[in-house]
Amino acid sequence: MSKTGTIYGVGLGPGDPDLMSVRAHRLLGSTPHVAFFRKAGRKGQARQIVEGLLPENVIEFPMEYPVTTEIPLHDPRYNEALSTFYADVTQHLIGLAQSGQDVVVLCEGDPFFYGSFMHLYARLRDIVPVEVVPAITGMSGAWTATEAPITWGDDVLTVLMATLPEDKLIDHISRTDALVIMKIGSNFDKVKSALKAGGKFDDAWIVQYATMAKQTVTKLSEMTDPGTPYFSIIVVHGQGRRP
């Protein structure tokens, strides 16, 4: 009987392949199966990061989301569709592991930081061996791109999802020292309004495609683009205690 394979959730970092860990690079070069999330019709950002780093004979398993922004998050159909999707791809991964195959699941940023891999991990961990390889987060790449520390002394750092209701955004924004806002997309106008109400709009920076070739770093108050790409993060630096 063959030994059960291992599912590796491998963090790839914020986008620049040079910021990938040595362990992640080693697994990419030695694991026969690679799985990755993507939107239908797209190559997938995680897959793009590892272009040229995979063995020629690797077997790829693209996991295509059934929905992304087509249905509102609060619509019951959204969770139903994703739950079925995660269950289906989990069964495929279990089948590979139980046949003795190791599988690398590519994860943008860190697998345990707002990543889709978490939903697989919760379904896999009690059935087959699962290992997680941590990585530099996208927000770390973003605040580093601003060339200023995100926190000083005992500053409190708050990480917010732009999908929150505006009143909750305002509440958190007004009570923190340093701030990161993620998943902006279609919530851009709401986020700007919340930053103004919370008194932090003039101190905010927006970083697009952090660490990638298309990276831009702009003071939010000076941004003239009509919208934001998917890979954008807003940063407000803390100004706390220092020697």
Strands 59-65 and 33-39: parallel
- Residues 6 or more apart whose Cβ sits within 8 Å of residue 83: none
| Tokens 């994703």 found at | 82
**Domains of the chain (ranges plus CATH)?**
7-136 (3.40.1010.10), 139-236 (3.30.950.10)
- Long-range CB pairs of 117-121 (<8 Å, 24+ gap) are 117/9, 119/82, 119/86, 120/7, 120/9, 120/86, 120/89, 120/90, 120/93, 121/9
Q: What is the dihedral of CA 35, 37, 40, 42, to 10 degrees?
A: -90
| DSSP β-bridge partners for residue 180 | 159, 235
Residue type, position 66, single letter: P
Cβ-count burial 153-165 (b if 16+ within 10 Å, e if not): eebebebbebbbe
pLDDT of residue 80: 86
Q: What is the pTM of this model?
A: 0.91
The rounded distance, in Å, linking the Cα atoms of 188 and 104 is: 34
| Tokens 């699962």 found at | 130
Cβ-count burial 105-118 (b if 16+ within 10 Å, e if not): bbbbbbbbbbbbbb
The rounded distance, in Å, linking the Cα atoms of 24 and 15 is: 13
Find the distance separating the first CA and the last CA of the chain, reported in whole Å: 63
103-156 pLDDT per residue, tens: 999 999 999 999 999 999 999 999 999 999 999 999 999 999 999 999 999 999
38-92 pLDDT per residue, tens: 988 888 999 999 999 999 999 999 999 987 665 666 667 778 888 999 999 999 9
Radius of gyration of the chain measured on its C-alpha atoms? 19
Starting at the edge strand found earlier in the chain, the sheet holding 7-11 runs 59-65, 33-39, 103-107, 7-11, 130-133
Q: Is it the case that residue 161 has pLDDT exceeding 90? A: yes
